[in-house]
Structure 1
Amino acid sequence: MMRSGSRGGAGTKGAVLLTLGGVTAAFGVAACCALPILLTTAGISAAWLGGISMATGPYRDLLLWLSALSLAGGTLLLWRMQRSADSCDSERACTPVWLRLILFIGLIAGAVLLWLGYSYV
């Protein structure tokens, strides 16, 4: 975990929040068309997405922009964390590798959901 004197605490929280926000907004965008198609192709019921798509449908354009900006911000913060981790020594606390990996996977998943939500409308 991060030590209290570490400089990366705010950047880590920001990256996590931006990634979660971007993935959530991209999920809302993809809930109308792309996710039901993919889930039913895989044999999984997608009826539960009806309520989500009805709630997020009128805000599709806003969610597209919000997701793109959040994912871009999360990517920038993750890049900065990676750069500081490359030069990390034993004197300074660094962001753990597992957290950077989870953020990277979340950013990729958000980007895929965003692309699917944009493409399948």
Structure 2
Amino acid sequence: MSQIVVAGALIAGATLLVAQRQRPPELAGLWELPGGKVAPGEAEADALVRELREELGVDVVVGERLGADVPIGDSLILRAYLVTHADGDLHPHDHRALRWVRADELRSLDWVPADRAWLPELAKRLGA
């Protein structure tokens, strides 16, 4: 059975929050939508709320799915959701940096390979 990994697309106005990875070494420095693994018995939305609280120090409300599932290797399935900032101040607890980007900046970032699948949908959501 595959492990589900959830990612949050936090959009504010015409900008998207992206996070720069610290680890593992092969992904360090690359940009991603923040998130993490769903624990056994945990709902995907609950996992995303927990992960973004741990990684960014904020509470979010999870909205609709974004794009299609992205398989990573044989055992992981990456799923993205739109999220809305509800409370707290953003801080990169688990990342090198956080950045707000516009639609025209999406393709210039050095993305984690799996997250590139969502770029067309993200650009559309940002009004490109």
TM-score, scaled to structure 2: 0.25
Bigger radius of gyration, 1 or 2?
A: 1
Bigger RCO of structures 1 and 2 (CA < 8 A, at least 6 apart): 1
* Structure with greater proportional strand content: 2
Whose helix fraction is larger, Structure 1's or Structure 2's?
Answer: 1
Give the alignment's TM-score, normalised by structure 1.
0.26
